[in-house]
Structure 1
Amino acid sequence: MWHRERPAGHARSWRTLLPEQPSRADSAPAVRGAVRVTVAAVAGFYPAIHLLDRPVLALYTLFVPVAFGLLSPLPGAGRRRAGTVLRAVPAAAALITLGTYLAAATWSAALGMLLVGFVLVVGASLGPRAAGVVPALQLCYILACFPPYAPGTLSDRLAGLAVGATATVLCERLLLPEPERPSYRSRVADGLELAARAVRELLRGGADGRETAERLRAAGRELRLSRTAPGTRPTGAGARDRALAQAGYATRRFLDLLAVLAPQLRPPVDLPSAVLLRGLAAACADEAAALRGSRPAPGFERIEEMIERYAAARGVPPDLRGDPHPLLRRQSTLLAAAVSAVTVSAALALTAGRRRPTTGLPVEEFWYAGASTPRLWWVRIADHLTPRSVVFQNAVRTASGLALARLVAGSLDLSHGFWVLLGMLTLGRTTAGATWSAVRSATAGTLVGSLAAGVLLVSAGDATEVYAALLVPMMLVAFSAGPVGGPAWGQGLFTLVVSTAFAQIAPVTWQLAEARIVDVLTGSVIGLVCGVLAWPAGARGEMRRGAAALLRGAAPLIRITVERAATGRSAPTARADAAAALRRALLDRRIAHAAYAQLRTEPPSRRPVDTGPDWLAALNFGSRVLTGTSWLPWSEGSAWPPDAATWAREATEEVVSATLRAAAFPADGVTVRPPPLPPGILTRLPAPSVSHLVDVEVWLHALASDLAAVGPGGTVKGGLW
């Protein structure tokens, strides 16, 4: 009954079909949730059925708390969860009303299910709040769209919604509320505070560079969304969530670049670098304080001014002996870190409510700054209205499955036919293998639960007081073990709960358990059919296509960026020649990121984990290209001499051709060997072109490192960009 991914290819033993009891640590949140859902459900159910004798009202007061409190992954702590339920009540009322009137005919109810299912799944992409209530909203329509066609009961249905939602809100707020978890804002603040301390210690010579680098990289890994609780992830479509997510990505990039610099920063550091590093440390401390609410968010203009001064002042000191190349590479890395700090500062200003465009920064990077919330919602939805999107694929798969289940249940006149849709909804997975694994476990659990329910119904007969006494303990056990025990425990225990509840609503016999088996099996078969016919590989196939499109789309941007540097033109201005390619690459990146996010939730394939491409390296490559396109070079300079321009073209073509080869994901990966700089060229170039040339060299070698990591078994190396 509860949605939980299981690895495809489970062992086929009976013990596997009924998995082991969950651990105590995993059970604690489930027990709290079980208490809240049980209290909310019975608070309206018992008075409605035993005092008022209104079965329709009782049914809705029972299932609304189950839908919102159990089936829906509501984000956040108690107060936020309660607010999410309140905001969803109008939509739930509209869906109940729609389902009530469309139940007049099977075909109209099925068409309504098709539309509702598609819209809700696509709408879930708007953010965690929307995604959290989608299962509950689907259940509201499912309950209402089944026979009997009774528009006269609409008032009781809506009253049941009101009572059940009110009880759910009160329990989420007052009864064992979910504790607050560290927010993503606090994680970003922790990373920035660490960066400020690390830079100051390194400049004083009081820290070991390698140990500091490890701490910085570890802090960067903590900013992955996978390390953050689902309810606190900034995945919404609004400007503030987009800005906070961008601040997190940029902070991680900043920390990784500081980690590359840390072993190289030994006093005395050249004066321009030391000044910039002190300024970055101060800016990081101010931004961390703003994230914690102790001061207003600083603007990005201060860091931008520091970058401009540094870009003009950096270079080879006149008294430096030996090869200047290491110093120039270090300066290029520091400048890249400073650009990441600009992105962090600008994004944090947007999280504080600044809605004006970030003048002076790349418009593609902060395109959402001046956009209205409805427009941002539409952009998020429009991004996924393509068969390439896993969101679109999931919407088609879910909507067609629910519509087919409604059509089958209505045409065959199945008793309690909404269980068919509920089974399809809760057992459906994004891959055919995972669906089959869930169905096998759920079938075993349903059979065992139905046998136990049949024995109970035969033994208790019409003794309503027995069912009333058993309902609460059964709900507590089912709602505690089901969410963490897997489909077998969930379906088996839920069968006992619904049998006990329905025995109080109307006279029943052991045939209720039989109907439960038939309905769940029917829904499972429909879910399997849809899983096999509609994108059975889930995100895996789309991940390959999306990553390939991102790599192919990034290739021309590499040429454009290096050409601008070689001709002495600044990248952040007058980039009309790259506008179309940038828009395409940005869309490709959003589609690929959505596929990767879903892929992380799916069971692994049967082949060894080290034999496939490194999708994260491909995504990192795309982000690195887009960052370089926006910021490289840092300021206008003079055109490079012929030998430097020739080297740039050759190195660029080597990386571009490797990018296009990597887009096919060959079994043996790709080999990238950009040619070295011509001997003595750094001494022949005028400033600041010498620094621009090293910037391009560092960037191309970092791209080559990412491409090599994309291959099977590759690892992302520590690039300097």
Structure 2
Amino acid sequence: MGPAGVPRKRIAARYAAAARRSGRVTLAAGAAFYLFLYGFGETTAATYALFAAVSMAGLSRIPGTGRQRAAVLARLVPVCWLLVAVGTYLAVRTWTAVAGMLVIGFALAFVAAGGPRAAGAAPGLQLLYILPSFPPYDPGSLDERLIGTTAGLLLLILAEAYLFPDPPTVPYRELAARAADTAQACVRELAAPPWRLSAQCAADAAAAISSLRPMNVAEADRPAGPGVHERALSQTGLSARTLLARLVRLPAPPGGAGPAEPGRKILEAVRRTAAESAECLRGATPATGAREGLARARAGLVASHPEPAAAGAGAGARAGAPAIPGPPEPVAVLRWYAGLIEAADAALAMSTAAAISVRGRAAAPDPPPMRFWYARMRAPRLWWMRLEGHAGRRSVFFQNAVRISLALAAARMVAGLDTLPHGFWATLAALTLTRTTVRETGTTVRLALTGTLAGALLAAVLLAAVGTDTTVYAIALAPVMLLTFTLGPVKGVGWAQAMFTVTIALVFAQLAPATWQLAELRLLDVLIGSVIGAVFGLLAWPRGAHEELQRSAAVLMRGAAEIVVATTAAVAGGGVREVQPAVPGHRSLRHSLILAESAFAQYQSEPEGSYGRRGHAGQPGGAGRSGPAPEPDWQATVMAGHHTLWGADRLMEPPQPGPAPVTVPPLGPDAAEAVTRLGDRVAGRMLLVSAALDPGGDTPAAPVALRDPAFDGFAARPEGAPRLYYMTVFWLDSLITDLEHIAGTARN
């Protein structure tokens, strides 16, 4: 098949998906509308039944299968009742309606921080609150409004659950299980001659890593919610990606004779743990034998000393630690073991997170390590922490909520003060046409006005020609709705506004006698709502996520630098290490990660032309684009933050299972000085990358060389250095590699 066949397939798939959604909306909304209007003569109930279905399926984009969407809608029914009731009572006065629009509009937009399903449902919930906020101001008709809303939602739930099912997608849990299978295959090759990965296995590992990146996962399958299961599943994917990356980087054991006995035990334990994780993710009864065996093997290797017994009795030895007989091991061997320990740690994290994602709090470690801080928390607290983390002007969710709530409140004020006919349409236009960047909003408004003008002309001709014959409108409504919700999502906002204008005209012409002037009012309202949306798009964070992504990534790198310095200082100092060490900056770095991830997610959804985005060499559109410099790899920036946190947690946890504190003597003068110097050097490079990610007037536009060929600190073997030293050095070296990926200078 030629290259032109791929776009045709994608377009056909988009039309098919839109047609299925349109069929469900049309059947649910049309059936409820006709039932109440022509069966019972209830115009109010008919209006709310139609708009309930249209809002939650036509305007909302709740991801997932039909059954998943139906379950979400069923949980949202009481919320819809509340919004209709509150909107009905607040609408009687303009100032209460405006205040309600400001507060409730912000709350409904801000709840998008809770994940894709909350974000997808938010626009429809906004519409259900907007609808009763306009005339007729009749709290006495609340029962009819609630009956109509309930009927429309129930028919929609049934349609979503049973009609026109979407093709199945691969769940994230299965993607993670496949990545664990790939890790097994990699370990098998590493444990057999020639003790390295084949090109095919390395390519399979890269493909598995790519399949777990959020941008390559269907929105419905992304574990982005704040709950325990979602957080654990997300961490399972991140740990699987880290494990595969560590296995790909792991070289053949020095000497060509294969791994020694401790290395073979670790590799076999990693393989068994990966197999156990895959079985757990696929629904088998979660087991812990392989994970516990790997934990013991890893702890034994960490606690052992690389020096022979006589040399290991000095200042750098642990009390009671087993000695390895024979001559001192070369640096290459020690670094190989350090890489093996990192791979084992990633496998342990993947296994633990997989068990938590399946069993929830019942599988949480006791006491939980820092990396699983969420495992024993209940859903309300985790939701509160998610919303609290975004409750600030640096969060893109907060910015979007402020922008849309101000636009809605302004539209409601204009409609109330000027007694704008059908002011509902103006507020709806402000809701649907306001975008996260001013340039995208301007483009959207131009297309929307053009489409609305075309739709208004067609509706005016139809209304003038047919007059008051509601039979024609009733017959035409269903096919026009079907076209509206099929063509709009595929062909863009212009088509959507044109077709929706005709649909609205057909609906209101059946509710009350209408003339061609109804189309004129529709155009006027959309114009007013568009202007309001454009004004607030210009005033409130007009550059969208771009600036926040730069800033949050720079803050993330500065926080990572602080963690590196604090961790290497703690490793150099030794002493008592608790199960949950208090290395400064962990919480602030996690918060920076949250902001960076949300900004990156929005950044990917915004058109490239809206702020002059430049691609980077590692992603589509980067190599051939013109511009002063390639765009940084933002995904690598986020992963560098995760690797910093995980490495710090790993190095500060006790080297063997159990809650008892472990006394770790200092590394020795030479090793302590070396690891401190390396930590300072890596932290300095992180600060340079931070300055390049969000450059000011007096900072360089790009970082200096991240690796200094004249500096051999990563290859040094200080006197009295235990395995903890080489684990720390390997971690710091991997962070430098992450920084190279960010800057686009990674070595092949």
TM-score of the two chains, using structure 2 as the length reference: 0.88
Residue among 84, 98, 101 paired with 1:113: 101
Deviations 1:554-589 (A, max 9, x none): 22211121122223447664633x24x111111111
Q: Distance in 2 between matches of 1:303 and 1:255?
A: 17
> 1:481: Cα distance to partner?
0.7
Specify the alignment match of 2:727 in structure 1: 695
The 5 A counterparts of 1:269-308 are 269-298=259-288, 300-308=291-299
**Cα displacement string for residues 523-552 of structure 1 (whole angstroms, at most 9, x for unaligned residues):** 111111111100111111111121121122
Cα distance change of structure 1 residues 302 and 119 upon mapping to structure 2, 3 Å threshold: farther
Which one scores higher on RCO, CA 8 angstroms, separation ≥ 6? 1
Q: In structure 2, how many angstroms separate the alpha carbons of the residues matched to 1:668 and 1:372?
A: 44
Indicate yes or no: 2:69 matched with 1:42.
Answer: no
SS in 1 for 2:402: helix
Task: Determine if contact 1:46/1:58 at 8 Å carries over to the other structure.
Answer: yes
**Runs of at least 5 residues in structure 2 that lack an aligned partner in the other structure:** 1-7, 309-323, 617-628, 656-662, 693-699
Q: Which residue of 2 aligns with 1:14?
A: none
- One-letter identity of the residue aligned with 1:174: Y
Tell me which of 685, 699, 710 is aligned to 2:719.
685
Is contact 2:306–2:329 with CA below 8 Å preserved after alignment?
Answer: no
Q: Distance in 2 between matches of 1:29 and 1:231?
A: 14
**What aligned pairs does 1:267-346 form with structure 2 within 5 A after superposition?**
268-298=258-288, 300-313=291-304, 315=306, 324-346=330-352
- Following superposition, the deviation at residue 627 of structure 1 comes to 1.4
Residues 667 and 572 of structure 1: CA distance in aligned 2, closer, same or farther (over 3 Å):
farther
Q: In 1, are the aligned partners of 2:246 and 2:339 still within 8 Å (CA)?
A: yes
Cα distance change, pair 283–591 in 1 and its aligned pair in 2 (3 A):
same
1:586 counterpart letter in structure 2: R
Q: Distance in 2 between matches of 1:161 and 1:519?
A: 25
Please show how residues 662-673 of structure 1 align to structure 2 within 5 Å. Answer: 662-665=689-692, 666-673=700-707
Amino acid at match of 1:478: T
How far did 1:35 drift?
0.7
Give the CA deviation at 1:201: 3.5
Are 1:571 and 1:631, in contact at CA under 8 Å, matched by a contact in 2? no
User: SS of the residue aligned with 2:480?
Assistant: helix
Match of 1:4 in 2: none
Out of 225, 248, 260, which is 2:249 matched to?
Answer: 260
2:230 maps to 1:237: no
The within-5 A match list for 1:134-145 is: 134-145=122-133
Give 1:332 shift: 1.1
Distance 1:710 1:112 in 2: 44
* Whole-angstrom distance in 1 between the partners of 2:613 and 2:398: 27
Classify 1:183/1:596 alpha carbon distance in 2 versus 1 (closer, same or farther; 3 Å).
same
User: Which moves more between the two structures, 141-150 or 42-51?
Assistant: 42-51
Task: Say if 1:113 and 1:399, in contact at 8 Å, map to a contact too.
Answer: yes
Task: Give a deviation string over 1:242-264, Cα, whole Å, max 9, x none.
Answer: 11111111111111111112666
Instruction: Please point out which of 649, 657, 664 is paired with 1:630.
Output: 649
1:325-404 equivalences in 2 (<5 Å): 325-355=331-361, 358-359=364-365, 363-404=369-410
TM-superposed CA distance for 1:354, in Å, is 4.1
- Tell me by how many angstroms 1:322 deviates: 11
Check 1:190–1:487 CA distance in 2 against 1; reply closer, same or farther (3 A cut).
same
**Cα pair distance change 1:154/1:715, threshold 3 Å:** farther
Q: 1:160 is matched with which residue: 115, 133, 148?
A: 148
Amino acid of the structure 1 residue aligned with 2:258 = P
Query: Match of 1:656?
Result: 683
- Whether the 8 Å CA contact 1:272–1:314 is kept in 2: the answer is no
Give me the whole-angstrom Cα distance separating, in 1, the residues matched to 2:166 and 2:13: 15
* Matched AA of 2:299: E
Query: Contact 1:21–1:485 (CA<8 Å) still a contact in 2?
Result: no
Aligned residue-pair number:
692
Deviation at 1:606?
A: 2.4
Query: Distance between the aligned counterparts of 2:179 and 2:50, measured in 1?
Result: 45
Deviation string, structure 1 residues 104-152 (Cα, Å, up to 9, x no partner) = 1111111101111111122222233322221111111100111221112
Q: Find the counterpart in structure 2 of residue 613 from structure 1.
A: 632
1:224 aligns with 2:213: yes
Q: Secondary structure at the match of 2:370?
A: coil
Tell me whether 22-31 or 443-452 shows the greater mean CA deviation: 22-31
Secondary structure, counterpart of 1:583 in structure 2: helix
Aligned residue identity for 2:669: P
Contact 2:24 2:156 in 1 (8 A): yes
**Alignment-derived partner of residue 525 in structure 1:** 531
Alpha-carbon offset, residue 690 of structure 1:
4.0
Q: How is 1:3-42 mapped onto 2 (pairs within 5 angstroms)? A: 23-42=11-30
Q: CA deviation at 1:489?
A: 0.9
Distance 1:105 1:32, change over 3 A: same
Specify the SS of the correspondent of 1:353. Answer: helix
1:511 aligns with 2:545: no
DSSP 3-state at the match of 1:371: coil
| Aligned mate of 1:594, from 595, 598, 623 | 598
Secondary structure in 1 matching 2:556: helix
Query: Contact 1:640/1:685 (CA < 8 Å) preserved in 2?
Result: no
Q: TM-score, normalised by structure 1?
A: 0.91
Tell me the alpha carbon deviations over residues 665-698 of structure 1, each in whole angstroms, 9 at most, x when there is no partner: 231223334674569963x633xx3433322222
- Please report the RMSD computed on the Cα atoms of aligned residues, expressed in angstroms: 2.5
1:102 equivalent to 2:90? Answer yes
Note if 1:81 corresponds to 2:101: no
- The range that moved more, 650-659 or 62-71, is 650-659
Which sits farther off after the overlay, 91-100 or 125-134? 125-134
What secondary structure sits across from 1:259 in the alignment? helix
What percent identity do the matched residue pairs reach? 39
Q: 2:739 aligns with which of 707, 716, 719?
A: 707
Q: Deviations over 1:7-38 (max 9, x none)?
A: xxxxxxxxxxxxx9992221111001111110
